[in-house]
Amino acid sequence: MPADPIDPATPINPGDPELGDRLDPGDPRDPLGLRRDAPLLDAWLSFTSAARAGRLTPFTIPGHKQRTGLVGEVVSGDVPLYAGVDTMKQSGGVLAEAERRAGQLWGADWCRFSVGGSTHGNQAVALAVGSPGRPVVVSRTLHRSVLLGLVLAGLDPVWVRPELDPVTGLPGGVAPAAVAAALAAHPDACAVMVGDPSYAGGCGDVVGLAAAAHAAGVPLVVDAAWAAHFGFHPDLPPHALACGADAVVTSAHKTLPAWSQAAIVLARTTRSGGLLDPDRLDRGFEATHTTSPTGTILASTDAARALLAAHGKELCGRLVRLVAGARSQLAAVPGLAVLESHPGLAVDPAKLVVQLAGTGAHGHAVEADLIAAGFPVEMADRDTLIAMVTLADDADTVAAFVDALVSAVERHRGPARTAAPSSAWTVDPIVAMSPRAAFFAAHEQVAGDAAVGRVSAELICPYPPGVPVLAPGEVVTAEALAALRAARADGGRIAYAADPTLATLQVVAVTDAARD
């Protein structure tokens, strides 16, 4: 192995210079003094201090016992929730207190911190809203985790589709009228589930969606995985709970400075006049969460919440300014289109999405150059590139990124082409069976072309964005197969398929397809 080129003396987490006058010189491990308002963070800092000082010899899991002597730094900082940031019996109540504070910040009466990402949050909520066989109105551009939540819960999706913006080909929100029509056609539906904002930052009319759901007496659940920052600055959209949603799932790790996998699930329940049962939410949450959550992820969620509470407005204000500046610089590059709110599509002001078709540059080539220059991005396909700018960025990081992006585009410039909307946004499935029936059905593997007309047993999507082009129970159409093959031929990753080459597909066996 080559030697680690990082000088161990280099501080990797200096405090944010813009918040300099508020840095706590007494504790470099908590430069903003967030622990005063963050019980889990406080417990994590105390535990790790004791461990580093050699005052702890735990006879509990994890088996590395706070020692890095065997596998090295990779286990440093790993502290369990049980017998770590709290006692095995949870007698400190620090998690419950941290969740209570988060609920208060977002205006929810029920809040849980997950170490399983929004993936787990979506599945937990799916288990809480209905019972097997009940219809649920769901946006078809959902993330795969929602679809698998429906499989777990046995809910039958009634698909609604977000409107595609004619200017950019990107999805906006689902129209409240479409949801109202679906609810009218399915009066036994138990909930409405949408993703908002979309992966590309398109924001819908959540107030209208909540009104449509509530008029039918059902809760609105919003997968807001990309919107943990919403509501913390007047230039950002309000968060979904403030718009009337009943439950919100958000990935703290996507837009806030929290550990990977950190997610928050928030709800307004029957305890405060809402529609969701808090006990069912708890049961759904526990059924699908690990029994050994790491306190490190939970403490970082608590820290991110305390950061938003104390400095959210100024940090979100800086974020919006940085993105606005980057957008206007990039928009000046000939042929480069930058996603901005315009009539018909509201866009998260913190999202940096560029469309490359007018430059002729291929997104994968631009991405490869960016990676080589040390700037990996969230997503790139032929025509679209999404870069995550977050509260952790500053003017220097964004300026350096914009320079690198402009240089990469110039290097790969070519004849302008027409942008093709991603198959993830345009898919219009033919449903033959419920996702759950197809998931558990006997299946067979057939040649890709022979699969056309059969019922898919598997979920297949280009990743990112992780929106299924084929879901279990849907008829494999020639269009869906061609779209997946085109995404692969263009260098995209085809995720979750048993055979990612798509030479073969798994379809429901004829006997089981006939049975449903």
Ligand X SMILES: Cc1ncc(COP(=O)(O)O)c(C=O)c1O
| Interface with ligand X (CB under 6 A) | 117-119, 122, 143, 145, 195, 199, 223, 225, 251, 263, 465-466
CA distance 496 to 481: 14
**424 or 475: whose CB is closer to ligand X?**
424
Angle between helices 39-52 and 94-106 (to 10 degrees): 140
**112 or 318: whose CB is closer to ligand X?**
112
Peptide bond into 162 cis (omega under 30): no
- H helices of 130-175, in order, are 144-153
- Token pair listed for 227: 């919107």
Question: C-beta of 209: minimal distance to ligand X in Å?
Answer: 16
Residue identified by tokens 């999507």 is: 461
**192 or 225: whose CB is closer to ligand X?**
225
Question: C-beta of 145: minimal distance to ligand X in Å?
Answer: 5
Q: What are the Cα distances from residue 169, in Å, to 174, 321, 461?
A: 15, 26, 18
Nearest residue to the partner ligand X, using Cβ: 117
- Secondary structure class of 258 (helix, strand, coil): coil
CA distance 35 to 460: 43
Tell which residue, 80, 11, 469, 486, has the closest CA to residue 290. Answer: 80
**146 or 408: whose CB is closer to ligand X?**
146
Q: What are phi and psi of 292, to 5 degrees?
A: -125, 60
Question: C-beta of 138: minimal distance to ligand X in Å?
Answer: 12
Question: C-beta of 111: minimal distance to ligand X in Å?
Answer: 16
Question: C-beta of 26: minimal distance to ligand X in Å?
Answer: 34
Question: C-beta of 339: minimal distance to ligand X in Å?
Answer: 16
CA distance 149 to 127: 7
Q: What are the Cα distances from residue 429, in Å, to 167, 191, 366, 477, 506?
A: 24, 21, 32, 8, 17
**263 or 333: whose CB is closer to ligand X?**
263
**263 or 402: whose CB is closer to ligand X?**
263
Given a contact cutoff of 8 angstroms between Cβ atoms, the answer to whether 355 and 373 are in contact is no
- Token pair listed for 417: 């082409």
Question: C-beta of 15: minimal distance to ligand X in Å?
Answer: 27
CA distance 122 to 109: 18
Query: Do β-strands 247-251 and 263-267 pair in parallel, antiparallel, or remain unpaired?
Result: antiparallel
**212 or 221: whose CB is closer to ligand X?**
221
Question: C-beta of 261: minimal distance to ligand X in Å?
Answer: 7
CA distance 155 to 145: 14
CB atoms within 10 A of CB 37: 17
Question: C-beta of 417: minimal distance to ligand X in Å?
Answer: 27
Given a contact cutoff of 8 angstroms between Cβ atoms, the answer to whether 263 and 114 are in contact is yes
Question: C-beta of 89: minimal distance to ligand X in Å?
Answer: 29
Burial class (CB within 10 angstroms; exposed 0-12, middle 13-18, buried 19+) of 314: middle
**266 or 437: whose CB is closer to ligand X?**
266
Given a contact cutoff of 8 angstroms between Cβ atoms, the answer to whether 220 and 209 are in contact is yes
**159 or 199: whose CB is closer to ligand X?**
199
Question: C-beta of 121: minimal distance to ligand X in Å?
Answer: 8
Question: C-beta of 119: minimal distance to ligand X in Å?
Answer: 3
Tell which residue, 280, 287, 294, 358, has the closest CA to residue 64. Answer: 294
**145 or 168: whose CB is closer to ligand X?**
145
Tell which residue, 271, 264, 251, has the closest CA to residue 109. Answer: 271
**225 or 441: whose CB is closer to ligand X?**
225
Q: What are the beta bridge partners of residue 171?
A: 164
Furthest CA-CA distance within the chain:
70
Dihedral sign of CA atoms 131, 135, 138, 144 in order: positive
Question: DSSP letter at 204?
Answer: -
**303 or 437: whose CB is closer to ligand X?**
303
